[in-house]
Structure 1
Amino acid sequence: MGIDEYPPHKTIHTAVFQDTTYGDIDAKKPQADFLWRGLFPSGNGLVSVSKSDREAHGLSETWPDPDTPGNGLFFMAGYHNLHCLAKIRTSVFESQAQKNQSEPWAHVMHCIDQIRQTIMCNIDTTLVPMSGPKEFKDGHYHVCKDYRDVFEWASQHRPVVAPEDSEAE
């Protein structure tokens, strides 16, 4: 198994992208906020990996897990990206409501750049049909990793002490 296959993501499927309740605003925003919080597994994507798994998959040295001798702590990049997207989302809503920004500007800009790099690394080559000169159609297929599989793996490998769920937002 190569480094790009660890953690394992055995299930690949197709998904149809379309507008969802994650993008709701105004009166429905509290429901969307609840859904966004549910994107993070227990531990928010911080995982504890054994020394043997680190060596077998060529993972870098990392901070030791204080509760499991020999294990090391890693933060799954996908959850870092979701954390960043959640911070940008909060910043946009605060700006739209003309509220003071709760996140430092440098953090928001770090998050934008982090997501840019990830999109460029994982560029989706799906051909998206157009409904007009500047309008994209929803409802076409993409090939995706199974989010539930990754979510469950992250939850199962959560360290004993991990960030609170509220810290992910």
Structure 2
Amino acid sequence: AVEPVFIRFNGSLDFPSIYRGPPSPEIDAAWNGIANNLTQMTREEILKGGTSEAELPWKARYPEKIGGQYIGFMEAIHQLHCVNFLRQASWWEYYESIQEPVFQTTPRVVRAHIDHCIEMIRQNIMCRADTTMISWYWVQGETTPLPNFNTRHRCRNFDKIWDWSIKNSIHLAETEVTRSPDSVDLPRPQGHVHVHKE
């Protein structure tokens, strides 16, 4: 289990953060430092995570030369990837101009990716349903009260989670992953957008 930490969020509209602002190499490096990390999962771990024995042949694995474990990454990392992608989409012209790979597909695929990320974040927020109360206060010069988003939260220690993710990471391009002899294709779901060929 990951021990909790208590953190006061800074919800100020103009709070300076390495994760916000116009695109720059520094901001991209900060996001890439927390939102991209594939890890490996043992057979026991993938079964414990909810995969059934019948589903195992559908699951992608790393090549035997690097252990042959199952490919995975934590949902938190996926959610950060999605927030980063939405950030990039808000600066679409810039990321398209520097040939960011995700913007080099068709507009339909990019739109599907955006909608996927919005939906995944919505589901996660509704699943976790943070019940921290946000109070309102009077601010000098304002005619109506404003919400105080600087709230205290009981959080998981992300640094510890990230350390585990780094320790268990695999640095291998998707194109270097080959099918194991016993792999089986998952039937293509209705409405599935082919992310590599459309």
TM-score by length of structure 2 reads 0.62
**Per-residue deviation, 1:65:** 2.4
The aligned counterpart of 1:74 is 72
Which of 151, 158, 162 in structure 2 is aligned with 1:140? 151
Per-residue deviation at 1:31? 3.8
Q: Any unmatched runs of 5+ in structure 2? A: 139-143, 175-198
Asked if 1:129 is matched to 2:135, the reply is yes
- 1:11 to 1:82, Cα distance in 2 relative to 1, 3 A: same
Task: Please give the alpha-carbon distance, in whole angstroms, between the structure 1 residues aligned to 2:173 and 2:39.
Answer: 8
- Residues 21 and 32, structure 1, Cα contact 8 Å, conserved in 2: no
CA deviation vs aligned residue, 1:96-150 (integer Å, no higher than 9, x gap)? x8x8893711111111111111111111111111236673213321111110111
SS at match of 1:65: coil
Q: Could you say which residue in structure 2 is the equivalent of 1:37?
A: 32
Match of 2:177 in 1: none
Whole-angstrom distance in 1 between the partners of 2:170 and 2:32: 19
Question: In the TM superposition, what are the counterparts of 1:1-169 in structure 2 within 5 Å?
Answer: 9-18=1-10, 19-22=15-18, 24-26=20-22, 30-40=25-35, 44-55=36-47, 57-60=48-51, 61=56, 62-66=59-63, 67-69=66-68, 71-94=69-92, 102=103, 104-131=110-137, 135-159=146-170, 161=172
Partners of 1:39 and 1:53 lie apart in 2 by 23
Query: Which residue of structure 2 aligns with residue 3 of structure 1?
Result: none
The answer on whether the counterparts of 2:19 and 2:30 sit within 8 Å (CA) in structure 1 is: no
- Structure number with the bigger relative contact order (C-alpha 8 A, sep ≥ 6) is 1
Secondary structure at the aligned position of 1:144 is classed as: strand
Change (3 A) 1:119 1:51: same
Q: 1:90 to 1:134 in 2, by over 3 A?
A: farther
TM-score (norm 1): 0.71
1:48-105 Cα deviation digits (max 9, x unpaired): 12223344x3541332222213x2121211111111111111111237x8x8893711
User: Which is greater in Rg?
Assistant: 2
Q: Would you say the 8 A contact 1:46–1:162 is kept in 2?
A: no
TM-aligned CA deviation for residue 21 of structure 1: 0.8
Structure 1 vs Structure 2: percent identity of aligned residues?
23
The residue number in structure 1 matching 2:189 is none
The verdict on how the C-alpha distance between 1:129 and 1:22 changes in structure 2, with shifts beyond 3 A counting, is farther
Please report the RMSD computed on the Cα atoms of aligned residues, expressed in angstroms: 2.8
* 1:150 partner letter: I
